[in-house]
Amino acid sequence: MSLDLPRTEPRSLNPAADEVRQRLEHARTTRLAQLKALDDTGQNPGDHLMSNQKDAIKRVLTEIDEAFARVEDGTYGTCLGCSKSVPPERLEILPHTRYCVACQSRAA
């Protein structure tokens, strides 16, 4: 029994990055569960509403993957539209978001 190994893994210089990864991981798990739930109830694969929903979820999953990459390269939390910091409150609600509120509403 060797339980005396150090439990700390210094794999990240930025302590906030781990929290962000956890948040993104949680977001991904939630979306994958939604996708699975849609598949499970999918008695009608040609249903447009359902395929729209699935497409939307898949799009978010792609954005989550991209957000993971941005955590790695250190650009996470920077708006791709105006290069300013996205407010932390917004990142808490939408951890995968690429834009601040102003740029998002301009894009929409």
Contact 53, 90 (CB under 8 A): no
Select from 28, 79, 95, 97 the one that contacts Zn ion (CB under 5 A): 79
**Beta carbon of residue 103, minimum distance to Zn ion (angstroms, whole number):** 3
User: Among residues 64 and 79, whose Cβ is nearest to Zn ion?
Assistant: 79
**Beta carbon of residue 100, minimum distance to Zn ion (angstroms, whole number):** 4
User: Among residues 47 and 66, whose Cβ is nearest to Zn ion?
Assistant: 66
How many other C-beta atoms lie within 10 A of the C-beta of residue 96?
22
> Interface with Zn ion includes 100 (CB under 5 A)?
yes
- Cα distance between residue 101 and residue 93, in whole Å: 12
> Interface with Zn ion includes 91 (CB under 5 A)?
no
- Cα distance between residue 72 and residue 43, in whole Å: 40
User: Among residues 13 and 93, whose Cβ is nearest to Zn ion?
Assistant: 93
Tally the C-alpha atoms within 13 A of residue 100's C-alpha that lie toward its C-beta: 11
